[in-house]
């Protein structure tokens, strides 16, 4: 650490830290998948937002099925996204399944 404190802080890249709603572990947002709720008729669809561009309140999840199942068991989707009603996570489940097949 040479130079002034301002120079030292500018050398480090800024990374946002988020908490996975499944396992509750804190990680860099680059390692987590953003999810959002989209209202469809009487149901609410929980969809992945890999580009992080969809509007609305987002939540973060490790892109693995274990964290998805844990979040589902803990009923974390409704609390994190502040929605209620029938939550459809099929789109998120398919996304994680396809992602796993291609890796």
User: How far lies 76's CA from each of 19, 59, 63, 65, 100, in Å?
Assistant: 12, 10, 15, 15, 23
Rounded distance between C-alpha atoms, residue 54 and residue 57, angstroms: 9
Predicted pLDDT at 99: 83
Predicted pLDDT at 40: 83
User: How far lies 74's CA from each of 4, 21, 40, 52, in Å?
Assistant: 47, 9, 23, 24
Task: List per-residue pLDDT tens for the chain, 103 residues long.
Answer: 555 555 555 555 678 999 999 999 999 999 999 999 999 888 899 999 999 999 999 999 999 999 999 999 999 999 999 999 899 999 999 999 998 666 5
Rounded distance between C-alpha atoms, residue 102 and residue 90, angstroms: 18
């Amino acid at each position: 650490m040479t130079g002034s404190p301002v120079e030292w802080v500018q050398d480090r890249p800024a990374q946002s830290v988020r908490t996975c709603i499944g396992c509750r572990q804190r990680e860099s947002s680059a390692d987590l998948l953003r999810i959002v709720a989209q209202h469809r008729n009487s149901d609410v669809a929980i969809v992945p937002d890999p580009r992080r561009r969809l509007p609305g309140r987002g939540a973060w999840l490790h892109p693995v099925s274990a964290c998805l199942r844990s979040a589902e068991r803990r009923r974390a989707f409704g609390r994190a996204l502040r929605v209620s009603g029938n939550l459809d996570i099929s789109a998120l489940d398919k996304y994680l399944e396809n992602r796993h097949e291609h890796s």
